[in-house]
Structure formats: C-alpha cells, structure tokens
Amino acid sequence: MTRAADHDAVVIGAGFAGMYMLHRLRGLGLSVRVFETGDGVGGTWYWNRYPGARCDVESMEYSYSFDDDLQQEWEWTERYPSQPEILRYADHVADRFDLRRDIRFETRVTRAAYDESANVWRVETDRGDRVSATYLITAVGCLSAARVPAFPGRGTFLGPSHHTGRWPHEGVDFIGKRVAVIGTGSSGIQAIPVIAEQAAHVTVFQRTPNYSLPAHNRPMEPEYARWVKANYARIRDAMRNSANGLMTAGNDGSVLAAGEVERLAEFEARWARGGVGLLGAYGDIVVSPEANELTAEFVRAKIRGIVENPEVAERLTPRDHPIGTKRICVDTGYYATFNLPHVTLVDVRRDPIQEIVPTGVRTAGGEHPADMIVYATGYDALTGPLLAIDLTGKGGLSLRHKWAAGPRAYLGVMTAGFPNLFTITGPGSPSVLSNMMVSIEQHVDWIAGCVARLRADGIAVIDADPVAEDAWVAHVNEVAGYTLYPRADSWYMGANIPGKPRVFMPYIGGVGAYREKCDQVAADGYPGFVLS
C-alpha cells in the first residue's frame, strides 16, 4: 500500500499544546511526528528558567484535566507553581504517556508548504528533515519568539547577557555582580527581587511602569488540594465555561455602583488574597475608564505605601495605560526591592538608553557599569512564532504576506488558504487572555474532533471560508473595541515590536462563550469551513 504522506500529522512544538495534541492524535490511530527546538518538552517552561519564574495561575488550575489519574496523582507543592516544578510536571506527562518516541528534539521547523496536487504539507527543518503530512498543527506557543531590542553596541558588551526566555540551563551566578536588568514586564518583575538577593548592585532600566499585584505564594495546603481533587470534575467544568479559564469567577457588579467603603474593602480583600483576582473585583474594570481609574488608583496608593523614597515611588507608578490593558503582573516583593540600597531605578523615557558599551549600559545621563545584562524585553507575541516559519499555503500564498496587516484566522484556529493547517491558541482565540491550559485543551480537543470527523466522512481537505474568516476577524475587533484594551501600547496590540501592525490579537469574548461557538460549529457540520 502506498502512503500519500510520511505522517498523518506533523505537530510543531512539544510544550503543553504539542504534547497533548500528540496524545490525542495517537488515540485516533494517527501517525504523528512532533518537531521541537529544545532538547526537552515543556515549551515556555523549558525556556524560561530565569530566577523567580513562576506561573501566576494557581497550580491546581494550571494543569491538564484530560486524565483523571494524572490530576489525582500529581502533587503540587506550592499555591503558584515554580518553573522547575512545572517542567517536572511536563517531563512526568511525557514519560507517563510515552510521548518522547514521536518527538524529534533539537529540531526547528523552518519551512512548511502546502502541496495542492498531493494534498500534503511538505515540512522542512534546520536538521535537514524533509517530511510530508496530511495535517499540520502549530503548537508553537504565544510568547516564544524572544526579542532583544537592537540597542547600538549590543555585541560589544564584555560580560554575559541573557534574555529571560532563553535562560542558561546551568543557571546564572549573580553573587558579587553588578547586574543591569532591562525591562519591567512580568518576567523582569519576577526576576528583579531574586537577582537583588544575590547581586552586588542591580540597575533596573524601566521604560513603562507596570501594575503589579502581590502573589502571596505559599506552600500548598494539603486540605485544599484534597478538596480540589475531590471536586475536580465540577471545578474543571466551571473553568471551561468561565470567562478566563480560572476557578474563581469575577464579579459582574460595577465599581461605580459600589460605594467607597465597599469598593475599598473588596479591593483590600483581593489584594490580601493575592494573584490577579483584583481585576475580577467588578465587571466594569476593563470597560469603563472611570471604574478602571478607581482600581488603578488603589494600586498606585499601594505602591506609594511600599516604596519609601517618594521620587522612586512616583517613577514606579503607572499612569499611561488603564490597569489590566497591559498584562497585569504578579510579584513577590517587587516594589519593596526598590527600598534596597543596592537597587537603582533608571527611567529610560527620561534618560534613554543610547548604547550598550563593553562595560555597561550608557544612557543620556551617563554610563551605568554592569558585569552582566539581563534582557527582560519580551516577545514578538502570538504571530512571531508562526511567522518565523516560512509557511506557504495554496497557490504559493505566504502567511507573512497574508498577515502583513495583522493576523486573520477563522475562529482563531484556521486561516483561509492554508488547508489542513490548525493553529493551537493562535491569534483570534482567547489564548493569552485565559488560563492557557484550559485554552490548549479546548483547541486540541476541537482539532482532534475535527480530524476524526474528516477521516470518518472521507473528507480530504478542510479550509476556512474567507467570508467566515472576515466576519470572525471583524467580531474579534468589535469585542475588543468594547473594552479599554486597545488603549494600551501592549504586546496584545503588537505595539512592542517596531513596525508590527497594531491589532488586538487575542479574542476577548471569553473562554466559555468561545468554546460554545466552536462546539456549535462542529455540531453543525463546520459552517464557515470549506470541506472537500
């Protein structure tokens, strides 16, 4: 018997999305090849080994739900899981489900082209692989294309420099070192306090002050873990149907309707509980500028209360964007770190970085000596990892060309002109606005269901209908437009990458509503898709 393709499916990436996709496709009897750039599984958690790296979704929620034995047997040790623990979990899953035998590690997919005459994807890697597959599934992550700004003189620096998302596996010793940290997003805000515990001096280069909420991390309470496990079926179901894939639903009420006493009590309670919950205190925080400002002012007052030097406190205080419209940060001791005598804050809006010199960072105000530079400068989010691959669809259409003015995908899962190509947690889906584990499982289950249906019905090709795609993209933009999100220069908007189109990329309609829509489309025989 001749095979039309080397594999039924190629999956790009062996993070949580790629691993589960492999498991599900195997379950359907498909032959699958996974390509992974790293030499291990875990994706984001494989690369992000910087000090302090920790998830801001609670452990009991940031885990797979597809296998009850797995969720019952795995023991999380802390309220919020640290990077090493998440990586151990990913390794455990890979072993438990015998995933590694179908993953080709240390291999980057460089190119994939749809061959219309054979209805296969022809996939090429940097290791010289040339394979074909009926289905191509990207599981490349949303925040995996690390970005270091093109500061002049970057190559001249004499010491080591590390991007937080490409951290050395052997770790980094900061003891006695003068460390420059550029960037104060989630990664910088987590890393800075830990680096400051060891380093002789830390100079933090901040462009935009960020809102950060305390994690109040603590050891897992066994009683709580037992309770969650006993109720997992119900809890997971509620998470799947929630707005953001979390266990604790936000309140619907209005900040403006609440009196000052009630509002402050609610904010204080959520601040004391820790984590991102403050943003869920009321339903209008990311919708109404006035409601948002009251919430932002609560956090600003906290910053003023923690940071002893009023001038430093003011420099750390965010005023240029509504709270929540850039990804909210969660920290352990971030603001208090600026009370330490060996930690300096440089506001690079007032005192811009001019160049990297062999012995440090030069701003307009002078040189800041450093033995080491940490780039916590973020990612070319969502589209970056996809466009890094030279993807070509029908008639030689390149994805880079198609998405030149911004990403376009029907339901955020397929892009017209690229048949049999599925994207897990890509643009146009809730992805980064949700608990990623929930969104990953939803996409993987939907794709597996779709593939099973195509095979059962003898359908060779599925493609998005451009009309349905246009309508979905318009809907994604319309829903974003009801919120304050488009007002911020965020990576959600592509604003952190010079020249990137300014489009709100994820879908903010909510995890539950999105799932319902996807399930309805499947139940109705895939309207909006072209099957042949």
Q: Which residues bind ligand N01 (CB under 6 A)?
A: 54-56, 143, 149, 164, 182-188, 190, 205, 207-208, 327, 330, 348, 353, 376-379, 432, 491, 496
Strands (E), 260-417: 329-331, 343-347, 353-357, 360-363, 366-369, 372-375, 390-392
Integer Cα distance of 507 and 411 in angstroms? 9
Residue with nearest beta carbon to ligand N01? 185
Phi, psi (rounded to 5 degrees) for 484: -90, -5
Cβ(477)–Cβ(485) under 8 Å? no
Please give the full DSSP string across 315-340, using - where no structure is assigned. HT---SS-TTSSPPEEESSHHHHTTS
Which of 107, 208 has the CB closer to ligand N01? 208
Residue 121 or 205 having the CB closest to ligand N01: 205
- As measured in angstroms, the least distance from the Cβ of 378 to ligand N01 is 2
Whether residue 132 contacts residue 5, with contact meaning beta carbons closer than 8 Å, is answered with yes
What tokens does 21 get?
Answer: 């996709």
Instruction: Rank residues 308 and 320 by Cβ distance to ligand N01 and give the closer one.
Output: 320
**285/330 with CB nearer ligand N01:** 330
Name every residue whose Cβ is closer than 8 Å to that of residue 505 and which is 6 or more positions away in sequence.
381, 382, 383, 406, 407, 427, 428, 492, 493, 494
Smallest separation, CB 310 to ligand N01 (Å): 22
| CB nearer to ligand N01: pick between 103 and 353 | 353
Reading the block at residue 302, the tokens are 């906290």
- Least distance between ligand N01 and beta carbon 165 (Å): 6
Q: How far apart are CA 283 and CA 422, in angstroms?
A: 33
Smaller CB separation from ligand N01, 64 or 205: 205
Distance CA 220, CA 231 (A): 17
Nearer to ligand N01, 47 or 114 (CB): 47
- Report the SS3 class of residue 264: helix
User: Which tokens sit at 332?
Assistant: 């352990």
Q: Smaller CB distance to ligand N01: residue 136 or 436?
A: 436
CA–CA distance, 211 with 226 (Å, rounded to integer)? 33
Which of residues 90 and 182 has its CB atom nearest to ligand N01 in the complex? 182
Q: Minimum distance between the CB of residue 375 and ligand N01, rounded to whole angstroms?
A: 8
Residue 10 C-beta: closest distance to ligand N01, Å: 27
Q: Which is nearer to ligand N01, 166 or 342 (CB)?
A: 166
Reduce the DSSP state of residue 297 to 3 states and report it: helix
Measure the CA–CA gap between 263 and 255, rounded to whole angstroms.
Answer: 7
In which element (H, E) is residue 103 found? strand 103-104
Distance in Å, CB of 412 to ligand N01, minimum: 17
Q: What 3-state class would DSSP assign to 486?
A: helix
Rank residues 164 and 392 by Cβ distance to ligand N01 and give the closer one.
164
CB of 147 to ligand N01, least distance (A): 7
Find the shortest distance in angstroms from Cβ 496 to ligand N01. 5
Nearest CA-CA partner of 330 in 434, 218, 433, 186: 186
**CB-nearer residue toward ligand N01: 325 or 415:** 325
CB of 389 to ligand N01, least distance (A): 21
Neighbours of 125 (CB within 10 A): 20
Judging by DSSP bridges, how do beta strands 343-347 and 103-104 pair with one another? unpaired
Rounded Cα gap, residues 355 and 363, in angstroms: 7
Shortest approach of ligand N01 to residue 58 CB, angstroms?
11
Question: For residue 436, which phi and psi values (nearest 5 degrees)?
Answer: -55, -35
